[in-house]
Amino acid sequence: MSQTAGMKSLGLFLLSSVFGVGVRGRNALYDRGVLPVRRLQGPVVSVGNLSLGGSGKTPFVLWLGELLNSRGVKFDVLSRGYGRQSRGVLLVDSNGEPAQFGDEPLLIARRLGAPVVVGEDRYEAGRFAERKFGPQLHILDDGFQHRSLGRDFDVVLVTPEDARDRFIPYGRLRELQSSLARADAVVLTSGASDEAFPLDGKNVWRARRGIVFRKVPDQPVAFCGIARPQNFLRQLRTAGIHPVAEAVFPDHHAYTGNDIRDLLRLRQQSEAEGFVTTEKDAINLGAHRAALEPLAVVQVKMRVQEPANVVDTILRAAEERKRPA
């Protein structure tokens, strides 16, 4: 390792240590009741993780929402709307653009047909939802670190990497494994082992992500802008799709005309017959999507063991909220 690289690594490690001190201090203030927690009228189910993306939060929200829909349970989704250029509390228009609402809220709204409300302050987003739709069940998307909003059930997804990672920016962790103490349920994804995490007294659920696709061009160019692109590329190969070329962009990437020209050039150079990408990337392509036809859009699907038991457990927690003390 060069001296410059060594200094950079040391700098990231020091920043990671400072970040960790801040996280522990903030959590201690919430644990002691120093920082206030506000509650909505309806029950709140938080879906979150320990790290920066890639654990399957959005697929889990979609999976949970589909099961709630099948049971006739009314709910909404509260999201920060990461990457949007707008501000304040907004009801997501499923025909809108990611610049206004964020790519994942748009994806959730389109797939579930349920109200999705974005806002930097999730409590205010929830109040907006309750004024408009009543105090129904709220799914708090990416909510584990958003402690200022009280929740009735905390679901945390973990990956194998979370067991040995470090705080950002040296690693990808936003919280350490010890924070799982305040979770109600831990979802082991991507083959994570229950022996690697402190899970005593927790509901432990196992989940795997798969992909659903149709009419993928032969010898495609695969591209994506997601948190863990290697997972998507590996899933393609496992499904028997072998790209002749690959392109990776930053997570939540908003595609530009230059990006499209680069992808078309890559297709020509690799003699590919088309493209394959993720559902989230298709949203971020916007009007550029037509230029990449034939383009196959792959859905990421979450499969959770004993789904009825999982939903029953969550709904019991929501029902407890309705009972008088």
Which tens digit of pLDDT belongs to each residue from 70-119?
A: 999 999 999 999 989 999 999 999 999 999 999 999 999 999 999 999 99
Prior bond of 243 cis (ω within 30°): no
Measured CA to CA, the distance from residue 54 to residue 83 in angstroms comes to 16
Res 254 pLDDT > 60: yes
Residue carrying the six token digits 């149709």? 214
User: Averaged over 36-62, what is the pLDDT?
Assistant: 94
Q: From its phi and psi, is residue 272 left (phi > 0), alpha (psi between -120 and 50) or beta?
A: beta
C-alpha span between 53 and 251 (Å, rounded)? 9
User: Would you kindly state where each structural domain of the chain is located, as residue ranges?
Assistant: 44-208+303-322, 216-293
* Residue closest to 252 by CA, chosen among 142, 124, 123: 142
Contacts of 35 (CB under 8 A, 6+ apart): 26, 29, 147, 148
Report pLDDT digits (tens) over 173-220.
Answer: 999 999 999 999 999 998 999 899 999 889 999 999 889 998 999 899
Range scoring the smallest mean pLDDT among 118-122, 124-128, 164-168, 294-298? 164-168
The CATH architecture to which 44-208+303-322 belongs is: 3-Layer(aba) Sandwich (3.40)
- Which class for 193: exposed (0-12), middle (13-18), buried (19 or more C-beta within 10 A)? exposed
Non-local (6+) Cβ contacts of 111 within 8 A are 62, 65, 66
Sheet strands (E) in 22-175 = 44-49, 75-79, 90-91, 116-118, 137-141, 153-158
Q: How does strand 203-212 pair with strand 116-118?
A: unpaired
Find the mean pLDDT for residues 114-129: 98
261 Cβ neighbours under 8 A, 6+ residues apart: none
Rounded Cα distance, 182 and 192, in Å: 19
CATH topology for 216-293 is Rossmann fold (3.40.50)
CA–CA distances in Å: residue 171 to residues 162, 176, 323: 10, 11, 43
The token pair at 249 is 């962009």
| Residue 253 · residue 225 · CB < 8 Å | yes
Q: Which helix (H) or strand (E) holds 67?
A: helix 57-70
Tokens 């009228």 appear where?
41
Cis peptide before 294 (omega within 30 of 0): yes
CB atoms within 10 A of CB 101: 28
Choice among 2-6, 23-27, 197-201 with the minimum mean pLDDT: 2-6
**pLDDT greater than 90 at residue 3:** no
Label residue 276 left, alpha or beta by phi (over 0 means left) and psi (-120 to 50 means alpha). Answer: beta
Length of the chain: 325
pLDDT of 324 reads 54
Task: Say which amino acid occupies 285.
Answer: L
Scan for tokens 């959770």, then name that residue: 304
Selection from 57, 113, 42 nearest residue 251 by Cα? 57
CA–CA distance, 100 with 232 (Å, rounded to integer): 26
